[in-house]
Structure formats: structure tokens, C-alpha cells
Structure 1
Amino acid sequence: MSIKFRLTLMSFLQFFVWGAWLITVGNYWFATKQWSGAEFGAIFSTLGLSSIFMPALTGIIADRWINAEKLYGGLHILGGLALAYIPMVDNPTSFFWVIFIAMLCYMPTISLSNSIAYNILKNNKFDVIKVFPPIRVWGTVGFIIAMWITNLSGNKASANMFYISAFAAIVLGIYSFSLPKCAPQNLTSKDASFTELLGLNAFKLFGTYKMALFFIFSMFLGGALQLTNMYGDTFLSDFSKVPEYADSFVVRYSTIIMSISQISETLFILAIPFFLKRFGIKQVMLISMIAWVLRFGLFAYGNPSGGLWMIILSCIVYGMAFDFFNISGSLFVETSTDSSIRSSAQGLFMMMTNGFGAVIGSSASGYLIDTYFTHTGVKDWQNIWLTFAVYALIIAIFFAFMFKHKHDPNAVENVSH
């Protein structure tokens, strides 16, 4: 098998594991287990909490002590075992802790998979900027296929979703041991400082103005990443409370409508090399931020009838909003850091976006929605989405003025020196 195909298979399984349960876990929680809504919010917080320290920690370990592909494989096997145990859990508290363990293993593998792919591609003399996006797009395909398998097999409210995910995780874990070796750089001298010995050099990136700003804005934009995963399907389903929309296509097939967002990703991932080459990282991230404004704004005014086009367009725009930030940001980190701290830097990016950003976003949005936008049990979705849109617009304006970067389309970006 070619290197590209092997990495494509890794990417496919990486996100298949997530897609098998992430969008449908609410159905299992509410319909099957009939647990309360208040405790459900904690499930999504496990993604953020585990991303605060695990990606950075595993990145340091991969840079210093253990082959990245072996660490990656071990985490997937352990995470798969935790997912397989979830159906045996019979109360919300235990569910939280088991899913938390699963996420402690899974979330760092996202940045590790990027690191492994970059390492292997570079060792085989490939152009990472051009070759990686077409490989990564199969991760999104894996997410979509897993989501549809779970739904079409009648398991969107069944414990079987976790068995499907667990099986894929364990298969991926075993498969990863066959990947080309990604050995630790271990370039530390005998006179290394305590910080260097612990592999914490990546945190020195905060000492560079441009990188510090990049990570800070990544954190703030990261607060928007999980908002539509958390509330999107609920928003569409709530149209059932409006008599004229109660039996609409949007209400009956809300999950399929939401899957347009992931389908859109596959197209925009492939466009990333062109946009990065033509416009550079600043403009691409700015486009992402404006896309988030549109994502939320279109949801605010969309409805299952005359406003259906807004809902669909919002889902299409999501691909640009998510990928132009997540994938381009990862490529920027890869081309802007020294090889000795590359895995650590990817973990740091993951920590700021899916860690601190996600925790801040989920906590703040939950508080705002419950306090200001929920009246007698009914959510004011229009003002909820408009608030999120204003948030994204403010970030975009500050980023445009504060992040200084001159793009050279003929040079590899390097801002670490």
C-alpha cells in the first residue's frame, strides 16, 4: 500500500470513531436512558476538559520519549475499551466518568494523527501543504459514514453506537503499529534546562508576539467550534413546537440536514491549499471567522419553510468556517515551528482550541442560554444565534487589526525565528 493510502485509512478511521456517537449521543441519553437535560451538558464538557492538558502532554511524550505511532495506537485501544464499557453504565455520573476516560484517550489522538501524517509525508519528500488536505478529507468522510451507519442501522438511540465506535478505535489502534516509525526527535543537549528536559519548549512559542496572538485567537474562536454540535440538532428539532413546521422535512430528518455540514467540509478541505497559497494564513483565518458569522446569522433567520435555504446555506458555510480554521491552523503550526517541538506545538494548538476554547464556549453559552434566552422552557433561538454571530464578528474585527502577517506565496511560512 502507498504511503498516501495508509495515511488516508488512518484519517478515515480517526473520525469514524467520533462520528459513530457524537451527534447521536443525545438520543441515547434522553430517549433510551431518559436521564435529565441538566446533566447532559457535562458530556460535551469532557471533550474540552480532556483537550486542556492531554494533547500537550502526549505531544511532549511523542517529541521526547515514545514513537508517535505507538503512543497513538495505545491511546486508541484504551479509548476503545472505555467506549465498549459505556453500555454497561446505568447512571449519569458513571456515564460521565467513563466517557471522560474515553475522551482523555481520544482527544489527543486528533493532534497526534496530524503530527504522524506530517512526519511521514516529510520523510517521504511530499509537499505537506498540497498532500495533507486530500488525506484529511477522508477523515470527514469517515465521520459522515459512521453517522449514517449509526442512523440507518437503527442505532441512533441504541447502545450499539458505542460498540461500533469501540470496534473502529481498536482496529485503528492495532493498525497504527504498522505505520512507518515516527521516532522522538530527542535533540536535547547534555546541558539542557529543566524546561527542555520535560519537553515544555513548545510553550516558549507564547514568547513570540505573532504565535502568542495566533494561539489566543485560536482559543476564542475555539469557543465557537462545538456550539452547533451541541445545539444544532436541538434547534432544528424545536421547530416541532411550531404547528406549521411540526411535520416538516427539517424536523423529521434533522440529523440528515445537519450532516450537510460535514459533507461541506469535504469540499472546503480540498480548497485549503489554493487559499493558503493565494491569500496566506491571516486571510484564510479571517475568512473562517466571517464564515462563522454567516453560519450563526443564517441559522437565526432560517426556518423549515421559506427560510429553508438559509438553514441549508448555513450548513454549507460550516465547511469553510470549521476547516479554514482547524486544518489551516494546524498547517500553520506545522510550518512555523522547529521539528524538535512539532508534536508538542500541535498539542498546544489543540489545547487552546478544543481545550480552553471549547470549555469556555460550552460553559458561557450554556449560562447565557439558560439565563437570558430561555423563557418558560422555550429557547429564543433567533437571539441565541444572533449573539453567537456578534461574538464571531467581534473576534474577526480584532484579529484583522491585531494579527500582523505579510504573506509570501513563494515562500514557506516560518515565524518561529
Structure 2
Amino acid sequence: MKATTRLQLSVMMFLNFFIWGGWFVTLGTYLSNNLNATGAQSGNVFSTQSWGAIIAPFIIGLIADRYINAEKILGVLHIVGAFLMYQMYNSSAIGSFYPYVLMYMILYMPTLALVNSVSFNQMNDPEKEFSNIRVWGTIGWIVAGLLISYIFHWDAKDNVRQGMLRNTFLMSSIASLILGLFSFTLPKTPPAKSSSEKVSIKEILGLEALTLLKNKNFLVFFVSSILICIPLAFYYQNTNDFLTNIGVENPTGKMTIGQASEVLFLLALPVFFSKFGFKKTILVGMLAWALRYALFAFGNAGALSFMLILGIALHGVCYDFFFVSGQIYTNSKAGDRYKSAAQGLITLATYGVGMLLGFAIAGKITDSYKIAEHQYNYKMVWLMPAGIAFVVLLIFAVFFKDEKKEVVTEPEAEKGLAATRLT
């Protein structure tokens, strides 16, 4: 790959995830403190990510794969997204904010696949080259968090009360416009299929892979993947608001520890996977979910603040050891015929159905433990997802039978990691 092409792809990845990390991490805090949203209303706003994930395959399968170059669609989506993000910046009530964030996420979620398509199209050996490009996306997410906390101080408690977090939408809007214009300079990535080639809804959504559910182990994994998204939704929706309300300084910057740990544990995953196998790896990931929320429940901003930091640092184990391992397992079970369809099905089940269910439950549980304005019984708010994660762990431990004859080797694991999303 040419050095200029590598630089273009790295900048593309950096900006694409800088945009997301620039507003999504602090969204729960902004909704609660500045738009006076209830937990249920916040859940509805966060669920726009799920609707985006459900609709994204149609944009990719019906347009990007058939009619228009991927880099051009990427540019249009981000330019329109910049306008919608600016409208979110101008919205002063949850009623006017919601339609814009819904439209935005429907347009943004397809970009996660588009940036991968543009990257893969320029690579001769994606298994070796992609991770070096993709890591810039994680760096972009981290830089956004550090800017918010340590440069602009928008997430300081007093600044939050004054509405300074509103500026995160303006920052992301500017970055989205820059990436939208920059996208038209990216290497050409023509449609993968002919516009005359027929494509079914089953193919677009990956429903062809439903045949894999006949395998009891895969069915157990599939159901567990949906259920574990319930505690995951609590993290996205509540963590930043929780840290802000209890008085943790620079909460958004501290949350970037989670992304740094993703990179660290991603490197350790192939070795752990090959040595202990899929079932034990998944169980460690589930246990980490339960443990992190227990740490949140009993930690505080004072002497026990280390418990909060440790809980954030466990994000790498939580995400990599369950979701990335699951992608590798799905890849190994699907075979060449259903490989793409199976990954699409798991994405639809987790970021679509699972997260949609998770945000609804997280919103209702948070509301039920509200004491006063910006005050919650956080011990119970966090013990609930800890309990859910532990129940899912028990279900998986009992019903998933260890496949000793189907051990995924380290090279296979590394190959599976190439296409995964880190944040």
C-alpha cells in the first residue's frame, strides 16, 4: 500500500470514530442535565443506535453494494450528518432533539461498514494490514474524550450544569463536514455487485445464516449475545452521567481508559483464545461484565475511586472477550457459504435487537431508582445489570457444551480479529 493511501485511510478512520466518540459518550449526561430527559426518554434516544444498525444493511446492500462508490456515499452521509448534528446542537428540548438524532444515527451507522469497505479495497493482505489502519479509529475516539475533559473541560460538573456539553455536537458537526469533504478524495471503491443483480431481504439482513441456529451451541451463543446487550446498554447510557453526578473529575477523559484497554486485550485475545478455548473466553468476558458493575455499585469519587477506574478498565475484557470472540466463533461455525451472512445476523441481533431491548430496560430501571433531580440510588442501578450479566453467564455455562474438537487456533483468531470494531 502506498504511504499516501495509508495516510488517507488512517485519517478517515480517525475522523469517523472521533465524530462518534465526540458526542455519544457524554450523551446521557447531556440528556439528563440539559434536556431534563427521563431515563425512559434517554433510552429512546440511545436506541436510535439500534435503529441505525437495523436499517444500515439496507443502505449498504441496496445502494453501496450496487450503485454508487463507497467513498462517495460516505461523503454524502457525513455532509448530511454534519447538518443534522448542527441541528442537535441547536435543539433545546428532547422533543425537537429526538428526530434529528434518529435521522443522524440512521445515516451514521452505515459508515462503520463503509470505512471498512474502502480500507479493504486497498489491501492485498487485510489480515495483516487492517488492524494498523483500524487502530486509528480507536485513537480518534480517545482523542475526542481527552479534548472534552482536559482541553475544553465541557464535562466539568459546573460546566455541565451551564450546558457546555452542547458544544460536543458542534465539534462533531465540524469534524463530520471535514470527513464528508475529505471522503471524495479517498481511493475509488466501486460497487461490489452489478445493479442488475437481484438481492433479497434475507441476504441483506443475513437471515440466510438462520440455519446455524439448528446447532444447539450456536443457538445458546446467539441468545446469550442478545441478553448480554442489556448490561452493555447500561454502560453506554448511564456511565458518564453517573461519574459526573457523583463528582468524578474529567469523567469523559477517564472513560477513554476503556478504549485503551480494548487495544491491550485485543492483542492478548488470540493467545487466550487458543490456550483456553471459546467457552472459557466467553465466560471470562461475562464475568467481567458482572464484576465491573459491582465495582461501580460500591465505588465512589473519594477513597474508592480506584474501583471506578478498574471498572472502566475492564471494558476491554468485557467487549473483546465476548463480542470479538463471538465474531471469531461465528466465523468458524458459518463456513464460506454463510460467513458474511452470519456476521450480519450477529450484528443485527446484538446492536439491533439486543441493544434496543437493553436501552429500554436500562431507561426504566434508572427511572425506578431516581431519588431527586440528578440523584439516583446508583448502587441498585448498577447491581441490576451486574445480576443480569451473572444470570446470562450461568445460562451459557450450563447450556453451552465445550467443543474440545473445534479449538480455534491462534492464526485463525488473529484472522478473525481483522474485521472487528473496537469501540
Compute the displacement of 1:195 (Å): 3.4
Instruction: Write the distance in 2 (CA, Å) between the matches of 1:278 and 1:331.
Output: 15
**1:399 and 2:396 are equivalent in the alignment:** yes
The alignment's TM-score, normalised by the length of structure 1, stands at 0.80
Q: For residues 155 and 411 of structure 1, do their structure 2 counterparts lie closer, same or farther at Cα, with a shift above 3 Å needed?
A: closer
Partner of 2:74: 72
Task: Give the conservation status (yes or no) of the 8 Å contact 1:45–1:362.
Answer: yes
Q: For residues 201 and 320 of structure 1, do their structure 2 counterparts lie closer, same or farther at Cα, with a shift above 3 Å needed?
A: closer
Partner of 2:22: 20
- Work out which of the residue numbers 183, 192, 203 in structure 2 matches 1:184: 192
**1:284 and 2:281 are equivalent in the alignment:** yes
SS at match of 2:380: helix
Compute the displacement of 1:299 (Å): 1.4
Task: Give the conservation status (yes or no) of the 8 Å contact 2:18–2:137.
Answer: yes
User: Which digits, 9 at most, give the CA deviation of each residue in 1:234-257, with x for residues without a partner?
Assistant: 3233435xxxxxxxxx3x333333
Instruction: Write the distance in 2 (CA, Å) between the matches of 1:260 and 1:103.
Output: 25
- Give the unaligned 5+ runs of structure 1: 241-249
User: Which digits, 9 at most, give the CA deviation of each residue in 1:139-187, with x for residues without a partner?
Assistant: 2211111122234225452543222212222333343441352532459
Q: For residues 66 and 187 of structure 1, do their structure 2 counterparts lie closer, same or farther at Cα, with a shift above 3 Å needed?
A: closer
Task: Give the conservation status (yes or no) of the 8 Å contact 2:29–2:241.
Answer: no
**1:205 and 2:209 are equivalent in the alignment:** yes
**1:150 and 2:158 are equivalent in the alignment:** no
Q: For residues 66 and 26 of structure 1, do their structure 2 counterparts lie closer, same or farther at Cα, with a shift above 3 Å needed?
A: same
Partner of 1:312: 309
The alignment's TM-score, normalised by the length of structure 2, stands at 0.79
SS at match of 2:246: helix
For 1:234, the aligned partner's letter is: D
Instruction: Write the distance in 1 (CA, Å) between the matches of 2:314 and 2:7.
Output: 29
Q: For residues 58 and 289 of structure 1, do their structure 2 counterparts lie closer, same or farther at Cα, with a shift above 3 Å needed?
A: farther
Partner of 2:44: 42
Partner of 2:103: 101
**1:237 and 2:244 are equivalent in the alignment:** yes
Instruction: Write the distance in 2 (CA, Å) between the matches of 1:335 and 1:76.
Output: 34
Instruction: Write the distance in 2 (CA, Å) between the matches of 1:334 and 1:144.
Output: 29
Partner of 1:387: 384
> Over aligned residue pairs, what C-alpha RMSD do you find?
3.5
For 2:409, the aligned partner's letter is: P
Compute the displacement of 1:296 (Å): 1.0
For 2:320, the aligned partner's letter is: D
Instruction: Write the distance in 2 (CA, Å) between the matches of 1:118 and 1:342.
Output: 16
Number of residue pairs matched by the alignment: 394
Compute the displacement of 1:36 (Å): 4.1
- Give the unaligned 5+ runs of structure 2: 156-163, 417-423
For 1:50, the aligned partner's letter is: G
User: Which digits, 9 at most, give the CA deviation of each residue in 1:326-381, with x for residues without a partner?
Assistant: 4444455566657787666544433222221111111112223333x345665322
SS at match of 1:23: coil
Report 1:215-234 matches (<5 A): 215-234=222-241
